[in-house]
Amino acid sequence: MPSSPSQPIAITYGDPAGVGPDLVLSLLDTFSDAPMVIIGDRQVLSERAQQLGLTVALSDWQPGDLLPVGSLPVWHTPAGAPVIAGQPDPATAAGTVTMLTRAAQGCLKGTFSAMVTAPVAKNVICDGADPAFTGHTEFLAEQAGVNQVVMMLTASPGGQPLRVALATTHLPLSQVPAAITPDSLMRTLTILRDDLISKYRITEPRIMVLGLNPHAGEEGHLGREELDVIIPTLKHLRAKGMQLTGPLPADTAFQPHLLEQHDAVLAMYHDQGLPVLKYAGFGEAINITLGLPFIRTSVDHGTAFDLAGNGTASAGSLIAATRLALTLATPQHNA
The confidence score (pLDDT) of residue 159 equals 72
Is 287 known to sit in a ligand binding site?
yes
Is 262 known to sit in a ligand binding site?
no
pLDDT greater than 70 at residue 332? no
> Collapsing DSSP states into helix, strand and coil, what is residue 5?
coil
Is 221 known to sit in a ligand binding site?
no
- Amino acid residing at 59: S
The confidence score (pLDDT) of residue 156 equals 83
The confidence score (pLDDT) of residue 1 equals 42
Backbone conformation region of residue 98, classed left if phi is above 0, alpha if psi is from -120 to 50, else beta: alpha
Torsion of CA 57, 22, 329, 195, to 10 degrees: -170
* CA distance to 155, 160, 280, 302, per residue, from 283 (Å): 9, 16, 10, 11
**How confident is the model over 16-47, as pLDDT tens digits?**
999 999 999 999 889 988 999 999 999 999 99
Is 257 known to sit in a ligand binding site?
no
Torsion of CA 283, 285, 290, 295, to 10 degrees: 70
Is 278 known to sit in a ligand binding site?
yes
Is 136 known to sit in a ligand binding site?
yes
The confidence score (pLDDT) of residue 17 equals 98
**How confident is the model over 178-217, as pLDDT tens digits?**
999 999 999 999 999 999 999 888 999 999 999 999 999 9
Torsion of CA 180, 277, 23, 136, to 10 degrees: 0
State the Cα–Cα distance between residues 97 and 138, nearest whole angstrom. Answer: 13
Q: What is the pTM of this model?
A: 0.89
pLDDT band at 278, cuts 50/70/90?
confident
User: For all residues of the chain together, what is the average pLDDT?
Assistant: 93
**How confident is the model over 91-134, as pLDDT tens digits?**
999 999 999 999 999 999 999 999 999 999 999 999 999 999 98
Q: How many residues does the chain have?
A: 335
State the Cα–Cα distance between residues 174 and 177, nearest whole angstrom. Answer: 7
Instruction: Return the biggest CA–CA distance within the chain.
Output: 63
Overall fold of domain 149-290: Isopropylmalate Dehydrogenase (3.40.718)
**How confident is the model over 235-244, as pLDDT tens digits?**
999 999 999 9
The confidence score (pLDDT) of residue 126 equals 97
Strand boundaries in the chain, DSSP class E: 9-12, 36-40, 58-60, 72-76, 114-117, 150-155, 162-166, 206-210, 243-248, 264-267, 286-290, 295-298
Is 333 known to sit in a ligand binding site?
no
Looking at the chain, the whole-number percentage of residues with pLDDT higher than 90 is 85
The CATH homologous superfamily to which domain 1-146+292-334 belongs is Isopropylmalate Dehydrogenase (3.40.718.10)
pLDDT band at 3, cuts 50/70/90?
low
Looking at the chain, the whole-number percentage of residues with pLDDT higher than 70 is 97
In the sheet that 58-60 helps form, which strands lie side by side, from edge to edge? 58-60, 72-76, 36-40, 9-12, 114-117, 295-298, 286-290, 150-155, 162-166, 264-267, 206-210, 243-248
Domain ranges of the chain: 1-146+292-334, 149-290
Is 215 known to sit in a ligand binding site?
yes
pLDDT greater than 50 at residue 2? no
**How confident is the model over 301-331, as pLDDT tens digits?**
899 999 999 999 999 999 999 999 999 998 7
pLDDT greater than 90 at residue 292? yes
- Give the other-Cβ count within 10 Å of 87's Cβ: 11
